[in-house]
């Protein structure tokens, strides 16, 4: 956790020569995962993400998000504790996403090329999300898939069948512009 805070401080302090940059802190978030198995499907939700977004006149430039794995709630404490074991959460308690390569596709969507960190491994992902800008707010939302095998995770089995290796993630992130005085 100490490394994340240092990382976020460094991210905020970096500025591009000749460009005015603004930092936005994650004010509220909802991150939902959905998992699948032939016998049943399930989902878990977290509202405990921390993050920062840096933007300049041209749009968003960098983003960093961190979510404690123990903050996800699937309405089944047994399933949640098994998920923490499978995700190796005692050793790696957070899932993180970081991108310095953000491309505006149009006024309502961006492509984020960055890295997910889970189970101590980093994997490059490219995701397209919707954006909305308000006066001092910047909202990012959308859905995408993550492959659990990308992070060297052993898929849990139920009735002799493993869960699907892909999970769906739905995110809603609301950033508020920081005001420095």
Q: Domain residues of the chain, as ranges?
A: 2-10+25-144+156-177
Q: What's the whole-model pTM score?
A: 0.84
Per CATH, domain 2-10+25-144+156-177 is 2.40.128.110: yes
Look at residue 166 and give its three-state secondary structure.
strand
Average pLDDT score over residue span 25-30:
96
44: CB partners within 8 A, 6+ apart: 32, 33, 72, 73, 74, 79, 80, 83
Tokens 């050793």 belong to which residue?
91
Residue 81 Cα distances to 75, 96, 151, 152, angstroms: 11, 20, 19, 19
Per-residue pLDDT tens for 28-84?
A: 999 999 999 988 899 999 999 999 999 888 788 999 999 999 999 999 999 999 999
User: 101 falls in which pLDDT band (50, 70, 90)?
Assistant: very high
**Angle CA 172–178–179, to nearest 5:** 150
């Amino acid at each position: 956790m100490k490394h994340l805070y240092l990382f976020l401080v460094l991210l905020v302090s970096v500025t591009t020569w000749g460009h005015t940059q603004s930092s936005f802190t994650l004010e509220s978030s909802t991150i939902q995962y959905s998992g699948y198995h032939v016998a049943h499907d399930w989902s878990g939700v977290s509202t405990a993400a921390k993050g920062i977004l840096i933007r300049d006149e041209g749009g968003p430039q960098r983003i960093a998000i961190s979510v404690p794995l123990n903050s996800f709630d699937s309405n089944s404490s047994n399933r949640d504790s098994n998920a923490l074991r499978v995700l190796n959460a005692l050793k790696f308690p957070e899932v993180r996403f970081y991108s310095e390569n953000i491309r505006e596709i149009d006024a309502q969507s961006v492509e984020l090329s960055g890295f997910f960190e889970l189970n101590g491994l980093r994997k490059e992902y490219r995701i397209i999300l919707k954006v909305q800008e308000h006066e001092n707010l910047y909202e990012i939302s959308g859905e995408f898939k993550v492959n659990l095998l990308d992070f060297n995770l052993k898929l849990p089995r139920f009735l002799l069948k493993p869960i699907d290796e892909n999970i769906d993630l739905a995110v809603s992130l609301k950033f508020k512009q920081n005001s420095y005085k």
